[in-house]
């Protein structure tokens, strides 16, 4: 499936990278990106990758999630536990797969993002996702390991028939992040919130805009709105000086 990448954030076990590669390749995923890994690709990885050597050899290592998501249009991030910050939001692999498949067929980039073995993804990392995905398990025992979680998502993506939705191509992740940085600065400038409450407020804004998934053109409009507001503020400030 060209255009689909698996992003492991802060992976901690060398062997797991290999198991992930093997799980991916069974379901047609070849592009693996390690973000700030705490373990390296080594003999343990190749041992567990078995025939998926090429996935490991082609893996890229980057320092930040920004780099990992460059060029990606849709981000689905896996979480193991309910987060109160995302009330009612997590979706399931089966629900999200047809949409992601349709996006891929339309030539849009998709990233499946997975967190650290022990602690998962931070809230800031989850904030990058259009879809927070939780794999349904027995409520009494939720203990899928990293490669098992990758396996389930890859399997669902592989089996999904593309949805019929013709979603417009959203702007790539890095442009959206640029907008969020603008917005953040602007919210502080205008006293909409303070530094302490900023993360909470931004989370709510992110949710709104991720749901909207603006196109590049729409994003320009949004950034233009902030620019224009700043200009108006500056003009008023100068008027009273």
As beta bridge partners, residue 33 has: 7, 60
- Does 81 help bind its own copies (rule: CB under 8 A)? no
Nearest Cα to Cα of residue 183 among 142, 162, 214, 146: 214
Decide: helix, strand or coil at residue 109.
Answer: coil
- Does 134 help bind its own copies (rule: CB under 8 A)? no
Q: Which of 9, 17, 20, 23 binds its own copies (CB under 8 A)?
A: 23
Q: Which of 84, 118, 143, 241 binds its own copies (CB under 8 A)?
A: 143
* Cβ atoms of 10 and 118 closer than 8 Å: no
- Does 22 help bind its own copies (rule: CB under 8 A)? yes
∠ CA 215-76-93, rounded to 5°? 125
For the bound state, the minimum distance from the C-beta of residue 196 to its own copies, rounded and expressed in Å, comes to: 38
**What 8-state DSSP symbol labels residue 119?**
T
As beta bridge partners, residue 120 has: 116
For the bound state, the minimum distance from the C-beta of residue 92 to its own copies, rounded and expressed in Å, comes to: 8
Residues contacting its own copies: total by CB under 8 A: 25
Cβ nearer to its own copies, comparing 76 with 149: 149
- Does 158 help bind its own copies (rule: CB under 8 A)? yes
- Does 151 help bind its own copies (rule: CB under 8 A)? yes
Q: Which contiguous run of DSSP H or E holds residue 188?
A: helix 173-189
As beta bridge partners, residue 61 has: 34
Which positions ≥6 away from 100 have C-beta within 8 Å?
4, 74, 76, 110, 131, 157, 160
Contact set for its own copies, span 28-47 (CB under 8 A): 28
Q: Which of 138, 166, 195, 238 binds its own copies (CB under 8 A)?
A: 138
- Does 56 help bind its own copies (rule: CB under 8 A)? no
For the bound state, the minimum distance from the C-beta of residue 53 to its own copies, rounded and expressed in Å, comes to: 11
- Does 118 help bind its own copies (rule: CB under 8 A)? no
- Does 155 help bind its own copies (rule: CB under 8 A)? yes
* Cβ atoms of 146 and 121 closer than 8 Å: no
List contacts with its own copies (CB under 8 A).
22-23, 25-28, 50-52, 94, 135-138, 141-145, 148, 151-152, 155, 158-159
């Amino acid at each position: 499936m060209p255009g689909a990448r698996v992003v492991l954030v802060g992976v901690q076990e060398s062997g797991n990278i290999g198991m992930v590669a093997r799980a991916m390749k069974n379901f047609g995923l070849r592009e693996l990106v390690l973000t700030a890994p705490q373990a390296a690709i080594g003999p343990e990885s190749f041992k567990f990758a078995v025939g998926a050597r090429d996935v490991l050899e082609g893996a890229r290592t980057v320092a930040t999630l920004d780099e990992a998501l460059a060029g990606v249009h849709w981000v689905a991030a896996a979480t193991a536990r309910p987060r109160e910050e995302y009330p009612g939001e997590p979706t399931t692999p089966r629900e999200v797969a047809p949409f992601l498949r349709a996006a891929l067929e339309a030539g849009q980039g998709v990233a499946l993002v997975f967190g650290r073995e022990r602690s998962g993804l931070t809230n800031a990392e989850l904030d990058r996702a259009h879809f927070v995905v939780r794999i349904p398990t027995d409520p009494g025992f939720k203990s899928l390991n990293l490669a098992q979680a990758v396996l389930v998502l890859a399997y669902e993506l592989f089996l999904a028939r593309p949805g019929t939705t013709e979603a417009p191509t959203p702007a790539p992740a890095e442009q959206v992040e640029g907008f969020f940085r603008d917005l953040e600065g602007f919210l502080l400038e205008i006293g909409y919130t303070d530094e302490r409450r900023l993360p909470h407020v931004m989370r709510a804004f992110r949710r709104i805009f991720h749901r909207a998934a603006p196109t590049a053109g729409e994003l320009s409009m949004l950034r233009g709105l902030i620019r224009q507001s700043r200009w108006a503020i500056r003009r008023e400030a100068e008027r009273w000086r």
